[in-house]
Each structure stands twice: as C-alpha cells, then as structure tokens.
Amino acid sequence: MKLRFSTTSPYVRKVSVTAIELGLDGRIERVATNTMDPKSDHGADNPLGKVPALITDDGERLYDSPVICEYLDSLAEGPKLFPPAGAERWRALRRQALADGILDAAILRMLETRRRPEALRWDGWVRLQSGKIAKALDQLEREADGLDGPLTIGEIAVGCALGYLDFRFAEDGWRATRPQLAAWYDGFAKRPSMQQTVPREPA
C-alpha cells in the first residue's frame, strides 16, 4: 500500500495512528505530498487534491480518512477499531464525526489566519470556527468518562484533534475549562502510536 501524506495533516495522523495500533504500519509505503504545491502530481491519485490518500495493493484509491481507517481495520486481525454493529458502532462513528468536525473547523481557521492574504482575513470566520471547536470540546468534556473503554476510531480521532489544537492553537488553552478531557488526553497521548506521530513542520 502507498500512503500520500504530509507531516502536519491531522487526518493523515489518524491514518498513521490507526495503522500503528493495528500493526499494519510496516506494510505502508509513504509518499510525501505537498497539496498546496501547484506542481504536485497528487491530482492523479486524488482529484480532490487532499491527503491522506491510500493506494491499495489492488490499485484502488481511497480518499478520506474515515474510509482509509476502516479499510485498514478490515485488513487486521484482532479487536476492531470500527465495531461491526450495534450501539458500539454508532458511539465510535459519532465520536469520530465530532472529532473530525473539530478538525474541519480548526483547518478552516488555520487557512484563514495563515494562508489567506492578510487583507482578506475576516475575524467573523475565525470566531465562527472557534465557536464550533469550543462547543464540540464542551460536549467531549461531558462524555469524557466514556473515552476510557476499548480503543475505537472515535478515541483515535479525538486524540488527533486535541493534538492538532495543541500544535496550531496552543494559545486557546483548551484544557482550562475541560479537566476531564485534559486528563484523558494526557494518558492517551502517551500511547506509542501517538508519540510516534507528533505533528511537525516539514524540514
């Protein structure tokens, strides 16, 4: 398998953490890809120009992190990160969607404050995205005691979302009013899969 990646994408991190947790990391060849580079050849593998993109051994191209993670889960033996059915499945997928929603808002905020020409930046947009992030974090704080069960894609996504907030928006101080979520993340971030995938700016 071949994975298009960048070292800062939190969606890529979800895939990497998933691969490590499943013991599949060694089967994945990595291709560094800068999606903002107009000369990137990435469009051939993903017309949407996003990472992560996984090219399977069968030549199938998979484009978004929930699909890639579920595909990896289908290749591995052992406990499933995507529970096959029932309340556990919806709990895991719901949590992943909440965490991915935090990431979507955080990425929009990052694009606004880093990539957009300065004169065209708009505080209203930053406030809108920050509000979504805060409300979703409050929701996670309320359900933090549920994060300690068997590992699923939900917790992996939450861990990667919180890690991204620390990476890009440490000044928000998300822990201040969310002690239970902070305590959970403190433990979760020590997993080898999280330690090996800490985001960093490209050299």
> Restricting to residues 168-197, which ones interact with another protein according to CB under 8 A?
none
**Comparison of 77 and 190: residue with beta carbon closer to another protein:** 77
Residue 78, Cβ density class (10 Å: 0-12 exposed, 13-18 middle, ≥19 buried): exposed
x/- string (CB under 8 A) for another protein, residues 136-175?
Answer: x-xx------------------------------------
β-strand 53-55 against 2-5: which pairing, if any?
Answer: antiparallel
CB contact at 8 A, 185 and 162: yes
> Contacting another protein (CB under 8 A), which of 30, 34, 60, 150?
60
Residue from 48, 150, 179, 192 that binds another protein (CB under 8 A)? 48
Binding mask 84-103 for another protein (x = CB under 8 A): -x-x-xxx-xx-xxx-xxx-
What are the structure tokens assigned to 172, written together? 């928000």
Contact between 30 and 7 under an 8 Å Cβ cutoff? The reply is: no
Report, in angstroms and rounded to the nearest whole number, the Rg of the chain calculated over CA atoms: 17
Query: What are the residues binding another protein (CB under 8 A)?
Result: 43, 47-50, 56, 58, 60-64, 66-67, 70-71, 74, 85, 87, 89-91, 93-94, 96-98, 100-102, 104-105, 116-117, 120-122, 124-125, 131-132, 135-136, 138-139
